Structure 1
Amino acid sequence: MAEAEGGKMSGSKRTIAKVAVPVVAAVTVGAVAYAGNLASTSPMHDSTSSASAADSAHASRAEVGDPGNPATWRLPIEAYLPAKADTRLIAATRDSLIDECMKAAGYDQWTPAPDLPEIGGKTLTDWRYGIHDAGLAAKRGYHPDAAEQRAYDEAQEAGAVDESGADDTTLKGCVAQADGKAPSAQPDALAQQISDDSYLESMNTPSVVDAFAKWSSCMKARGYSYAKPMDAGDDSRFSDPYNVTDEEIATAKADVSCRSTYNVEKVWFDAEVALQQTAIAKNQAALDEARKTIKSAVAKAKSVNAVQ
């Protein structure tokens, strides 16, 4: 994004640090943290200061698209987090504003850092509970698609080089101008905390503990000794995305099979849903304000685009 201000200065060239769109929760799978898990792109429900309790309850419902694909599920807290599409809209608008400002300041060659390609999980629930795609597991074990990995690595290595010679003060001034016209939509701290806490707390609920135990027994019967599903993905032997061994693939295939047998992801998801709904109810007013802030940021970005 254009708002990256760090980097090394070298003569008139500066390498701009790449900043991906804000993440909701990075879930570690196979010792690799994936940052594609933004809130889903489902339409955001309206929220006003006079919103009814029924409207708030509707906004925080859980949704299950394809029962067999966790990537299509939606946790209640996502109603209060920036949707991926909205985040990209705002980021692109801010890039455009900063670009115009930098050119007006005399830096025609100024270049914003590009977005990083998506890798791994594409939604908040995709890979949140571990791997779930049997086909991908049979090819890549606990790692993302090989083409995704290459594209991500190449983008990271290429970086974005600013040859305009612009100084940090000018850039910060342009960022401040963008803030006034199209403020960024960072995840609300409370909503993020609820998302993080529910993930951790859910692993201690009786239903999830039982599902983990069944999964562990299933894996043991196949020759693998892990107490919890995430233990398999976090096995240090499977940390290298460039050397996916036969052992890793065999383990991942057994993992997905045992998960499916005992419906581990859905049990885990349901436990999180219950925890989040309780937390949301306790913090409804503050979360409604967070949702209004996101809507306001989106509206301002759209307004800027309409003028341009």
Structure 2
Amino acid sequence: MATWRLPLEAYTPAAADIKKVGAARDVLIDSCMASAGYPDWTPAPDLPQLDGVSPMDSRYGVHKAELAAKRGYHPDEAIQKEYDAAVSVGAVDSSGADQKVLMKCARDVDAKAPQLKKSASASQVDADSFRQSLKDPAVVDVFARWSSCMKSKGYNYATPKDAHDDPQFIDKNVVTDLEIKTAVADVACRKEHRVEKVWFDVETRLQQQAIKTDQLTLEDLKKTNRESLIKSTSILSDVENHN
């Protein structure tokens, strides 16, 4: 699944691109703060991806047997701890920097730094394809087969989303034996009936149809974001060359 790509991903920034543009912004703010007399100020660390390394890791829910057997529907424990630590560090600036100066630097940088643009059209396609896929006959059928498989193992859920979103499994600090057993059964039933592949194929078709109706707008978005990424790469390269 890590290699699967929905059609819309060709028009939306990848996680690595978002990180690079954010890093370029941080570099410019860092330079501004140093010039303002706060050389010890550093940007908060990037937050680790709790939902996996690819969009497919989170879009359709749990699908890795090994992780399910350890953490149920929760993220990997080490990544969760890293995430919590990064949040803690980001919330406390120990450099002693004047926050008014920081806000001014941020405003000045935001006025000129490369930025990735969001598109209402792309967001709508993304949301609509997921919502519509849940009603597609192929997905409804595979969900029913998954549900029957789960019931044979002692679990009563109509869809994979119902299992993943079970209120019993929401507490981020608690992973129960029941959650682990449920997630393991979930993954096994998904694999037996190829749930993710059926779901992915339906969404692929829905997105391809939607993209055709607004392709020019999406192509412009792709071009604009590509230019921002090139500028960000240049900013980061300049910093590396001066270090």
TM over 0.5: yes
- Counterpart of 2:40 (choices 97, 109, 117) is 109
- Shift of the alpha carbon at 1:204? 0.5
The within-5 A match list for 1:123-272 is: 123-159=54-90, 160-168=92-100, 170-272=101-203
Structure with more of its chain in helix, by fraction:
2
Q: Whole-Å Cα distance in 2 between the matches of residues 74 and 265 of structure 1? A: 13
- Shift of the alpha carbon at 1:195? 1.0
| CA pair 203-117 structure 1, distance change in 2 beyond 3 A | same
Q: Whole-Å Cα distance in 2 between the matches of residues 229 and 183 of structure 1? A: 39
Contact between 1:108 and 1:164, CA under 8 Å: does it hold in 2? no
Q: Secondary structure at the match of 1:71?
A: coil
Between the two proteins, what is the percent identity of the paired residues?
Answer: 51
Q: Under a length normalisation based on structure 2, what TM-score does the superposition of the two structures give?
A: 0.90
Q: Secondary structure at the match of 1:73?
A: coil
Counterpart of 1:300 in structure 2 is 231
Structure 1 position 91 matched with structure 2 position 22:
yes
Which consecutive unaligned segments of at least 5 residues does structure 1 have?
Answer: 1-69
CA root-mean-square deviation: 1.8
- Counterpart of 1:285 (choices 211, 216, 219) is 216
Which consecutive unaligned segments of at least 5 residues does structure 2 have?
Answer: none
Q: Whole-Å Cα distance in 2 between the matches of residues 189 and 71 of structure 1? A: 26
The one-character-per-residue Cα deviations of 1:48-106 (angstroms, maximum 9, x if unpaired) are xxxxxxxxxxxxxxxxxxxxxx2321110001111222222211111111111122122
Q: 4+ residue stretches of structure 1 with deviation over 6 A?
A: none
The one-character-per-residue Cα deviations of 1:149-193 (angstroms, maximum 9, x if unpaired) are 12212222333415344243x434423443354322143332122
Partner AA of 1:190 in structure 2: S
| CA pair 241-306 structure 1, distance change in 2 beyond 3 A | closer
Structure with more of its chain in strand, by fraction:
1
Counterpart of 1:24 in structure 2 is none
Contact between 2:70 and 2:180, CA under 8 Å: does it hold in 1? yes
- Shift of the alpha carbon at 1:306? 4.2
- Stretch of structure 1 that moved more, 186-195 or 201-210: 186-195
The one-character-per-residue Cα deviations of 1:248-283 (angstroms, maximum 9, x if unpaired) are 111111111111111110100011111111111000
Counterpart of 2:12 in structure 1 is 81
Partner AA of 2:89 in structure 1: A
Contact between 1:76 and 1:273, CA under 8 Å: does it hold in 2? yes
The one-character-per-residue Cα deviations of 1:89-131 (angstroms, maximum 9, x if unpaired) are 2111111111111221223333322211222322111121110
Contact between 2:48 and 2:83, CA under 8 Å: does it hold in 1? yes
Aligned residues: 238
Contact between 1:94 and 1:178, CA under 8 Å: does it hold in 2? yes
Q: Whole-Å Cα distance in 1 between the matches of residues 221 and 94 of structure 2? A: 35
Partner AA of 1:223 in structure 2: G
Q: Under a length normalisation based on structure 1, what TM-score does the superposition of the two structures give?
A: 0.72
